[in-house]
Structure 1
Amino acid sequence: MDMHVYMGYCGWEAFKTLAHNYFLVDDHPLFPEIRQLLAGVEATPAEVSEMLLRCEDAGVALRGLAELLKEKKKQEARRDGQQQQ
């Protein structure tokens, strides 16, 4: 039997859980930016986890995640612009 499980995209609450699990942080200066980016970008929890696992330093990992989300936002904007043409 096949079963489909909808996982959805990573929202703010899921991100906070991942950040706490990986780095034991509940707040960071990059959190507001990441929260805003997550609200406008489709990123899976696996993509977010992958970025957080790349470095043991929370600041470095969170900066990498912010850059990934910015790039995804640019890609989605380009794709939306092409679809409107």
Structure 2
Amino acid sequence: MICGHNFHYGCRTFSNYSNSSIVNTPRIIIAHNHPSGRSDEPSQNDITFTQNLNKILKMVGIELIDSIIVSPNSYYSLADNRLLSE
């Protein structure tokens, strides 16, 4: 479980992952939704944010296992599609 506060990135809200190290969380999975249902494919912004977050998490010893995008009828795993790192 990730505990912490929220911060805003564009028009979306993400949990503050730095607090996960306080509760000794060595690995995390993040997720967000695309409620419109038009696509579960990541935007370039989704990919860039995830790759930057992954770099930061590595610096503090936390492994990002996956970033998942959920839409009404499916999901998209950035890990399965090898998009967690540049």
Coarse TM-score class (shorter-chain normalised): under 0.3
Which of the pair is proportionally richer in helix? 1
* TM-score normalised by the chain length of structure 1: 0.27
* TM-score normalised by the chain length of structure 2: 0.27
